[in-house]
Chain A
């Protein structure tokens, strides 16, 4: 009952709501770089994230609460603690790391099976396009078996966080999808 009311109100007056977005991916994929790229528009030097980084930013009149969770193997089990109330997941992949594509794919699909993420939209960044030997977005898409995803809006965008390419395109798409489906 309560949820019905709140979702009805949200549709009518979605102004004050904060959207919760998670940035996930294996360690070294570029998640933290993307987060701060979004927040301050610059490339910052990053250290491996032990835990998470959370920043609030406004994008296209929407308040986004973005959580960048550490990708090291020991930290991945904790991703689940942050799934609740998530509007969207941004999955970042190091396009040059061919050896770990399988691991990335596994983590992605495992995550998407969680009930709390049923309604979440998915944006995949095939990152580090500026590096030699980077797989293309479609190649990454194949590696990640994105085609298998059912009942979910998803998109994959080639990006280079360092160069600033593809980030806003990806996010634009994501926000539009969220607005369509959830607001």
Chain B
């Protein structure tokens, strides 16, 4: 081999091809074990080795250990240049090697006697080489390094200590004082090489490391943390912005532990909003605004608006990162209290055209949330101007934001609908894009009655030229559902029939079904007859499915004239509870006990009317609008190309996993209830409440309750979890005593206790009462009774001969009130519906507790089980009064009930005036008089 080839072998080839793993291994083993050490080659080889590891390759443990040992031998060479590489290698290999403790002595020696260049490297490598048993031995070294005047050395020791906390906090705590000193001490950077071409500046980052470490050491000591904040918030104690932001985070921690503290920090926070460091301003603004989301009554208006104006100023900085960060916070605020950031609208508007796409997207979506009834039209026109220049992804995000606008400001539907129609007609786009627009329009049709007909017309125009089957089918279905109730059904019939004539078989089949719904419109026999005629023509279609559907529809129409069941099949007024249906079907399919001879029993599945369905949908939309704080972040990653995601995830507003599991849970409880023999004779279930807690979550016995209502019975279900680890509970039951025994209308029938509850088990016990028909209200005091049995630690079962001892445990009381007899219901025009209802009742309440407006509203919604309409479920932050509009219907007889509650908060407390009307007089009166 010539010398040239030989030399090249050891260099990293500029083409960047990866070295071969085995070659590297051999080269390393040979070169590192050589004597004398060729430092230049060793450092090069270490780089190649590390490149291999960075690429994701790894070595089996024996090889890694061999490499580690060989590298550790390089400590014999004194060159700092080689030594730095050795430390890199030690750190990388320590994760995959054994016995890395062999390097300990050498490292400790470097810590003590190494050059100032090497000492920090040595200190930081200790993180990987020490373990629980050896960490204590480094105490002296670490402690003296922490107080070194050289900031690199001090920081290295602090970071290592921080890294070692999980395995040796006792050792680290021993030099807490030195750590605190390191915050105070302003260590100037030491330039090691006088001839260096660099001009470093001191950043005092050591303050940050020391403060971070002290914070960890003193986390459980609130007083110590307060002292820390006091000490370092004054004057120029902290020079490093990371350290200052760290202090802000400490304050954040403190106010979350004790919310009352925020007032103590008001001056400090205000001064931080003026910090010369944007990072500090940002962190403080984040703190204030997110704290205000849950504790709005504790954050003064002045502080909040200060935070907002700080963010507002940040919107105009030249630094993209700062604009982005400020926008993120404002966007989060806009989801809860958009009116508070309306003041930023001018800046937001100018950011719409920001060169950075992420910034401009955030700006628009925030703007759309701050839209008030007054400026929606101007917002929409601003958006329209640049809408066509942006990408599909971005367009979808805007459409979504516009859509939520439409839900919140139904009176402003016109400019919104115009915008949607315009973009639908005039812009090119893929399936996701078009679909999101159509979904938005469909929502307008469903929830905004005044816009319905115009929106539907637009959809009819659209389907004349739509290339996506799925969308067409969806629109046709909607036309079939809503069309018959409009003033001009024949218009829709015409549009639908055109589709039958012109489109493919999938569309035709959907069109047939839609068409058939028009055949049963009362008072319009000519139309009905022409529809039947059209259907007869379609029965000659060349496609099987189309013909079948037409034929079936004709048969149903025919029988509907004689029998209402047929009408029901065509024009169903009910839909099934899907989660319950799914569950029952799955268990039916998997049980197969008698080869499916017994047909599937559909009567046991709860059904919902259309307005109930709409109510639930609206509630979900309202909640998703408010819940996630980073929905924008996840929206950025939505791509249709990504596998496994819903195609309509950009527009899907159905149940998320959380809600779905809650739904499943209530279905499960209902199933369990109905499978119990004793309850079968109670008849069908009228209503079940949601699960509500009756104890603290950290209690020894966690209990939550469910109220089930039958026609003449009430069953209270108590789900009990035994959180103790060493006792079992036998014969667990709840004793419910009515508060007013004398005049109670309920008669207790029987209790079904839980036989045995082992540790961590959860089970349900029931108490059944007889009640007269109609609305019955009652308050119960509840006591959990049980026998504790100690467990044999070996068998984990109670001792046989131990009788245990009886005990009681008081849990929260529960109330059966009017709201339990009510289900949420949706209505398009609240005022009109309210005016139509009879039986008005008025009641006045005074709430003494210091609740916030929002908390009162939430409680009312829960107590009445009604749906809040016209976006009145959110209190505005700056006001002291609010009007809540609620709508529902009786679970017993389906009659409507509506409630307007005016809430005023003053120094004396909270005053409520409730005005309720309902078709059912008793229910209406009970509801209004039993609100709080």
Contact = CB atoms under 8 A, between A and B. Distances in A.
Interface stretch (A79-87, A88-96, A130-138, A172-180): A79-87
A78 B102 contact: yes
B793 interface: no
Contact of A56 (B73, B76, B105, B106): B76
A123 B474 CA distance: 94
Nearest to B102: A51
A85 B32 CA distance: 13
Contacts of A82: 73
Contacts of A50: 101-102, 104-105, 108, 134, 137
A65 B35 contact: yes
B710 interface: no
B109 A53 contact: yes
6 contacts: A18-B35, A51-B104, A52-B102, A54-B73, A54-B106, A78-B69
B35 A75 contact: no
B75 A54 contact: yes
A18 B76 CA distance: 12
Q: Which one of B102, B106, B109 has the highest number of Cβ atoms from chain A below 10 Å of its Cβ? A: B102
Given A20-B35, A78-B99, A81-B69, A51 B105 contact: yes
Contacts of A56: 76, 78
Interface in B47-86: 69, 72-73, 75-76, 78
Grouping DSSP codes into helix (H, G, I), strand (E, B) and loop, the A interface class, with mixed when no group exceeds half, is mixed
Contacts of B307: none
Contacts of B108: 47, 50
B35 A70 contact: no
B106 A52 contact: yes
Interface of A: 18, 20, 47, 49-56, 65, 67, 70, 75, 78, 81-82, 84-85
Nearest to B105: A51
Given A18-B36, A20-B35, A84-B33, A53 B105 contact: yes
Contacts of A81: 69
B72 A51 contact: yes
A78 B72 CA distance: 12
Contacts of A55: 76
Nearest to A49: B105
A54 B83 CA distance: 14
B135 interface: no
Nearest to B70: A81
Contacts of B438: none
Interface in B739-774: none
7 nearest A-B residue pairs (beta carbon): A51-B105, A50-B104, A54-B76, A51-B102, A51-B104, A49-B105, A81-B69
Given A50-B134, A50-B137, A52-B102, 7 more contacts: A50-B102, A51-B106, A52-B105, A52-B106, A53-B105, A67-B76, A84-B33
Contact of B106 (A20, A53, A85): A53
B282 interface: no
Contacts of A78: 69, 99, 102
A51 B101 contact: yes
Contacts of A67: 76
A108 B107 CA distance: 28
Interface in B104-151: 104-109, 134, 137
A61 B12 CA distance: 38
A33 B419 CA distance: 87
A142 to B, nearest CB: 33
Contacts of B107: 51
B113 to A, nearest CB: 10
Interface in B293-334: none
B103 A51 contact: yes
Contacts of A52: 72, 75, 102, 105-106
Q: Which one of B75, B103, B134 has the highest number of Cβ atoms from chain A below 10 Å of its Cβ? A: B75
A81 B103 CA distance: 13
A75 B101 CA distance: 9
Contacts of B102: 50-52, 75, 78
Contacts of A47: 108, 137
Nearest to A85: B35
Contacts of B109: 53
A65 B76 contact: yes
A82 B106 CA distance: 15
Nearest to A75: B102
B76 A70 contact: no
A49 B69 CA distance: 16
B571 to A, nearest CB: 83
A20 B36 CA distance: 10
Contacts of B72: 51-52
Interface string B230-255: 00000000000000000000000000
Contacts of A20: 35
A44 to B, nearest CB: 10
A134 to B, nearest CB: 27
Contacts of A54: 73, 75-76, 106
A71 to B, nearest CB: 12
A67 B75 CA distance: 10
A15 to B, nearest CB: 13
Q: Which one of A18, A47, A54, A55 has the highest number of Cβ atoms from chain B below 10 Å of its Cβ? A: A54
A85 B34 CA distance: 9
B202 to A, nearest CB: 34
Nearest to A84: B33
B33 to A, nearest CB: 6
A52 B101 CA distance: 10
A20 B107 CA distance: 21
A52 to B, nearest CB: 6
Contacts of A49: 105
Contacts of B36: 18, 65
Contacts of B75: 52, 54
Contacts of B104: 50-51
Contacts of A70: 105
Contacts of B73: 54, 82
A75 B102 CA distance: 8
